[in-house]
Amino acid sequence: ASLAGVVEYRNVTFAYPGAESPVLSNISFTARPGQTIAIIGSTGAGKTSLLSLLPRLYDPVEGQVLLDGVPVDQLDRAEITKRVALVPQRPYLFSGTIAHNLRFGRTEATDQELWNALRVAQGDSFVREKTNGLDSRIAQGGTNVSGGQRQRLCIARALVTKPRVYLFDDSFSALDVATDARLRAALKDTTTDATVIIVAQRISTITGADQILVLDNGRIVDRGTHEELLETSPTYQEIVES
């Protein structure tokens, strides 16, 4: 079977450079094309750190992260960037037009492709309402758009690159529940062959995930579907009730 799009963490332990204790311990899981894997856990549990190891923002101190069956430290960084899109927890927009921000200097995507990505990300209507559409200016840091609009532009940017793997770090938190649901439904329709890993705060964002990893203090303490975890995981129940 092809390993294209398969993400595997194998006994991964990670500490930030210079730190004494690890923030991730013995993390193992596999995410396959067509699947959505969700990661949930309290603040500081290690969710962002976990995602950062796939695009090699950092490397593990022990264990391996594999993409397409190949350890990521054996892959070209440019190749990883092509295959993996990370939507960071703090979405980054720079001074330039909306089109510049969506292409990010990386793609030759047509305007039509940008609109398609915006439609999936539920960002097309606010861009259409702007006088200059795709050519509207974004201020440095995206200070002239709302937090939710920033998130949607960064999600659209990820879609434009058509990656095999999407990493969403809390990318839906600034959206109202209805927009969040519409966006994820549209996402599911257009990314049927992609591998999707979602970090979320809100339970409703992840109830449909194929597998949920419950992260606590750098460890996966439980895993399963929403229904399974409701039955088996006290940590998950606590999160649901909070």
Is 74 buried (19+), middle (13-18) or exposed (0-12) by CB count in 10 A? exposed
Of the two residues 48 and 171, which places its CB atom closer to ligand CTP in the complex? 48
If binding is defined by CB under 6 A, does position 60 make contact with ligand CTP? no
Per CB under 6 A, 46 contacts ligand CTP: yes
Q: Is 70 in the site for ligand CTP (CB under 6 A)?
A: no
DSSP classification of residue 146: -
Of 19, 70, 139, 185, the one binding ligand CTP by CB under 6 A = 19
Residue 195 touching Mg ion (CB under 5 A)? no
β-pairing verdict for 165-169 and 84-87: parallel
Query: For residue 190, with 0-12 CB atoms within 10 Å meaning exposed, 13-18 middle and 19 or more buried, which class applies?
Result: middle
Residues 94-113 that bind ligand CTP (CB under 6 A): none
Rounded Cα distance between 33 and 31, Å, is: 7
Q: Does 45 sit near ligand CTP (CB under 6 A)?
A: yes
| Under rule CB under 6 A, residue 89 binds ligand CTP | yes
Query: Letter for the amino acid at 178?
Result: A
Enumerate binding residues for ligand CTP (CB under 6 A).
16, 19, 23, 41, 43-49, 89
Enumerate binding residues for Mg ion (CB under 5 A).
47-48, 89
